[in-house]
């Protein structure tokens, strides 16, 4: 679908919206612009993540299952 086939319909709709409702078509890129909304609500506090302790490493003699479809052994060989 191409816009050139709908220009007459678009012009008729724009004219009707302007005449009947007083609404103009916004400029190109209007709906993709970032907006800052002003409100009376307080700003949320910044939530920082907790400090997690270092996880212990696995022991060398920990039983490991063989890799499924050879994924682990193919990349780490």
Question: Looking at residue 4, what is its pLDDT?
Answer: 81
Question: Looking at residue 22, what is its pLDDT?
Answer: 94
Rounded Cα distance between 4 and 74, Å, is 54
CB of 14 within 8 A of CB of 8? no
Question: Looking at residue 58, what is its pLDDT?
Answer: 83
Question: Looking at residue 40, what is its pLDDT?
Answer: 94
Question: Looking at residue 17, what is its pLDDT?
Answer: 93
Question: Looking at residue 56, what is its pLDDT?
Answer: 81
Question: Looking at residue 72, what is its pLDDT?
Answer: 58
pLDDT along the chain (77 residues), means of 10: 82 93 92 90 79 79 79 56
Element (H, E) at 74: helix 71-75
């Amino acid at each position: 679908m191409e816009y050139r086939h709908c220009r007459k319909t678009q012009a008729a709709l724009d004219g009707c919206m302007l005449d009947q409702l007083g609404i103009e078509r916004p400029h190109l890129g209007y709906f993709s612009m970032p907006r800052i909304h002003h409100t009376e609500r307080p700003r949320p506090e910044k939530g920082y993540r907790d400090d997690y302790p270092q996880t212990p490493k696995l022991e060398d003699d920990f039983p490991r299952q063989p890799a499924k479809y050879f994924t682990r052994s193919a990349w780490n060989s």
